[in-house]
Structure 1
Amino acid sequence: MSTSYENEVIVISGASTGLGAATARLLAEQGFHVLAGVRREQDAERLRRPGLEPILLDVTEPSQIAQLVERMNTLGKPLRAVINNAGFAANAPVETMPLETWRKVFDVNVFGLIALTQALLPSLHRSKGRVVNISSVGGRVALPAFGAYSGSKFAVEGISDALRQELAPHGVQVVVVEPGGMRTDMAVRGEEMAHSLLERMTPEQRSRYNDTMQTFLSYTASMEQAGVSSEQAAKTVLRAVTAERSRPRYTIGRDAAVMSRLIRFLPDRLLDRMIASTLRRSSKAER
């Protein structure tokens, strides 16, 4: 195990499972002292190991953010990076998504990210560290039923662009990581949420959007099967953290890499047709 990073701290939110947990473990193996934000005590006990210190963190709770900052300060070590990984997925057509669900998505994915970043920026200025925001290919292009989730990730992309330019003169780097399809617990929870939202629709809404939701579920199932593992994806986050001069953006998975290139050149309506064709193929493959 490398010990070259043993005097540096990493803060990562959303580390209970999936990409967050895999990244926290990988960074601890490299020698970092990792403060890994989790939501429940049982998640903390499962994650704990040498160099990996779980800490209760709901990014929508200012008191828990303050406690994390206090704990980090007691370590007396420079902060290498904050990795904003906490996320909440909810998928349904814009017309049918309850406003409280929209607010939950943005509270976690956008305002929670901002709150944690603001709290840690004084430390990052002192250490010349970096902000690593886990976005999504859905932050570059939106699919049907992805309005809330993609909307929040589009916001993350814009915030990250502004922050990168604001912090560059002060020696703090800002990096966006854009995963595509992944085999994670978050994807499973997203499917469960989608079923719940479908059940809450009115009969009229269900008749209008049932096909859209079924296509979404088929597409996400196919992407999970073909997606990269959390452990593979964590290696990209490690590069974003440790590269001497990181790139502004990293993609994870072939689908994310291809889509990020296509959207630069294709007209919107042609891209819409390509997305519709891809979704139809995924739906037929699942039947």
Structure 2
Amino acid sequence: MTRTESHRGLAVVTGASAGIGRATAKALEQAGYAVISASRRLPTVPPAPSSITTHQLDVTDADSVAALARTVDDHPLPLTLLVNNAGIPTAAATIADSDLTDWRGTYDTNVVGAVQTTQALLPALIRNRGHVQFIGSTVGRVPYERGAAYAASKYALTAMVQTLRLELCGQPVRITEIAPGMMRGDEAGGEFMRTRFKGDKDAIAAVYQGVEHPLTPEDIAECVVWCATRPTHVDIDLMEVRPLAQAAQHKVHRTA
């Protein structure tokens, strides 16, 4: 599909170098969008010719976000979708022992970065009757021990998304949060767990011990596309997604 054949307009996906972001960029292209795949790490292998273009982006840097906005403004297609996916995990630590640098860095990326990117692109999205999606987490509603920094950032993201929905009531733009539960996927999912458990392979394996079919990045990408392709008067405010084996944050069925 060439860029001119993309009939749904332009989509921007942040944090798109791997994991949910990369899967979402591919799924949106297949659904008929031209896609800007924005991330701090650009792929080392040039992508095959497609309607996906890469753009280096640090959501915590105002100049970097402004450069993204200029790229969007210069694009021949109207911006109709922003997927705020960029985010970072934190190492497992109790509140008493956690590093406040982790708290500040996580909040700056997971919350302020999403706000900054949304601010920059919102005028175009309103003008084009667009859609803003945020990738949150079920931990943004139910926390777990030794995960307060990450959970707090996702709670804050949820509050921001809900407030934005209220503030834009009456404007022609849709707002959606997609909150995944237990995931296991490509290197991004692996990176999350390696960071959380500081590379301890046994600790990582224990999380998934006996769990059949955790969510994959492709599962969440399908959710993004489904929400984006509803009729323009239909807004999916919140979609919580868990694997069948996970009934709640603390209740997971294990076969062994």
For the aligned pair, the TM-score class normalised by the smaller chain equals: 0.7 to 0.9
Deviation at 1:47, TM superposition (A): 4.3
Partner of 1:196: 198
CA deviation map 1:63-88 (0-9, x unaligned): 21111111111113221111000010
Q: What do residues 109-151 of structure 1 show as CA deviations (whole Å, max 9, x unaligned)? A: 0010000000001111101111100001111110111201111
After TM superposition, the structure 1 = structure 2 runs for residues 163-178 of structure 1, keeping only pairs within 5 Å, are 163-178=164-179
Matched, 1:14 2:15: yes
2:77 maps to: 77
- Helix, strand or coil at the partner of 1:254: coil
Aligned residues: CA RMSD: 2.8
> Residue 34 of structure 1 aligns to a residue in which SS?
strand
Aligned CA distance change for structure 1 residues 241 and 102 (closer, same or farther; 3 Å): same
2:207 counterpart (220, 232, 245): 220
Asked if residue 240 in structure 1 is aligned to residue 227 in structure 2, the reply is yes
Do the aligned partners of residues 117 and 191 (structure 1) sit closer, same or farther apart at CA in structure 2, a change above 3 Å counting? same
1:175: how far off?
0.2
**Corresponding letter in the other structure for 1:188:** G
Decide whether the 8 Å contact of 1:14 with 1:87 is kept in 2: yes
Q: Indicate how the Cα distance of structure 1 residues 150 and 22 shifts in structure 2: closer, same or farther if over 3 A, else same.
A: same
Letter in 1 for 2:176: V
Change over 3 Å in CA distance of 1:186–1:41 after alignment to 2: closer
Matching residue's letter, 1:191: M
More helix, by proportion? 1
The amino acid of 2:227's aligned partner reads A
**Equivalent residue number for residue 241 of structure 2:** 252
Moved more, 4-13 or 177-186: 4-13
Instruction: State whether residues 183 and 224 of structure 1, in contact with CA within 8 Å, keep that contact through their aligned partners in structure 2.
Output: no
Q: Closer, same or farther in 2 for the Cα pair 1:195/1:181, shift >3 Å?
A: closer
Cα 1:218–1:17 change in 2 (3 A) is: same
* Larger displacement relative to structure 2 (5-14 or 248-257): 248-257
Structure 1 residues 72 and 189, CA, compared in 2 at 3 Å: closer, same or farther?
A: same
Equivalent residue for 2:65? 65
Partner of 1:52: 52
In the alignment, the residues of structure 2 paired with residue 246 and residue 231 of structure 1 have an alpha-carbon distance, to the nearest angstrom, of: 22
Identity of matched residues, %: 28
Matches within 5 A, 1:268-287: 275=250, 278=251, 285=256
8 Å contact 2:212–2:245 — kept in the other structure? no
2:246 and 2:158 map into 1 onto residues whose CA distance is 16
Alpha-carbon separation, structure 1, partners of 2:227 and 2:166: 17
Query: Match for 1:247: what amino acid?
Result: I
Unaligned runs of 5+ in 2: none
* Contact map agreement 1:29 1:51 (CA 8 A) in 2: no
Cα distance in 1, alignment partners of residues 179 and 245 from structure 2: 7
Q: Secondary structure at the match of 2:168?
A: helix
TM-score, normalization by structure 1: 0.78
Instruction: From the CA coordinates, give the structure whose radius of gyration is larger.
Output: 1
**Offset, 1:256:** 9.6
1:241–1:94 distance in 2 versus 1, CA, 3 Å: same
Structure 1 residues 40 and 101, CA, compared in 2 at 3 Å: closer, same or farther?
same
